[in-house]
Every structure is written in C-alpha cells, then in structure tokens.
Amino acid sequence: MPLYRIIIEGRNLLMNVDGQQDKYGFYTTRWIRAAEPNNAKQKATALVASELIAYKLNGVDDPVTLTVVEVGKMRWPFHRRGSGFSFFPETAEGAND
C-alpha cells in the first residue's frame, strides 16, 4: 500500500495554556498507508481528531475545524511516524480595524 504525507490545518482549538484558556490553530503532519489519497485523508483526519481529545476544551456547539491542506504520495521508502502539533494563537478577525 502506498504511503501518503498528509498535512492538516486545525482552527478554533480551545486550550488551557499556562492557566489561560485561548483559541489556537495548528499544523500537523501524519504519514498514512492507504490504498488511495481520499482514504489517507480520512484516516489522517480521524487520527488527529482522536489525538486532540487530550487538548481540546471545545463544546459540541463550537467544534475544532480540520482541513487537509496537502496530500503527497511518497515515492521512496520512508519510515517516520508523524506526531505532534505546531500551535499558534488565533487572533480575532478585524482586530486591527
């Protein structure tokens, strides 16, 4: 089965950082073996969603959004496990207006 690199962007993640609740976005990469790209995207998104349970404070009426921003089929043997997140604080739209 082919190996795919899936890059996911997350938004609207409510987390407690240093005792303060704030909204964050993030990027993360997962390496997924799947028969085809759409299946790899679904598997990666489900994996990331399950990993976020440890971080997120969002209620059901304010969900985290996950968007696959890139899918790449690896063309050489590559053995690496994707994990972790690169978080960034979200800012209010139009805050500088």
Question: Each residue of 51-73: pLDDT tens digit?
Answer: 999 889 999 999 999 999 999 99
The average confidence (pLDDT) of the chain is: 89
The DSSP secondary-structure symbol of 97 reads: -
Residues 6+ apart with CB under 8 A from 88: 24, 25, 26
pLDDT higher at 46 or 87 = 46
Q: Residue 55 has what pLDDT? A: 84
**Rounded Cα gap, residues 85 and 8, in angstroms:** 10
Q: Which residue has the tokens 């050489």?
A: 76
Task: Please give the share of the chain, as a percent, with pLDDT higher than 90.
Answer: 73
Give the residue numbers spanning the domain of 27: 3-89
What is the per-residue pLDDT for 94? 42
Q: How many structural domains is the chain composed of?
A: 1
Q: Residue 55 domain-assigned?
A: yes
CA distance linking residue 66 with residue 9, whole number of Å? 6
Quick check: is 83 in a domain? yes
Residue 97 lies in a domain: no
pTM: 0.85
Tell me, yes or no, whether 94 lies in a domain: no
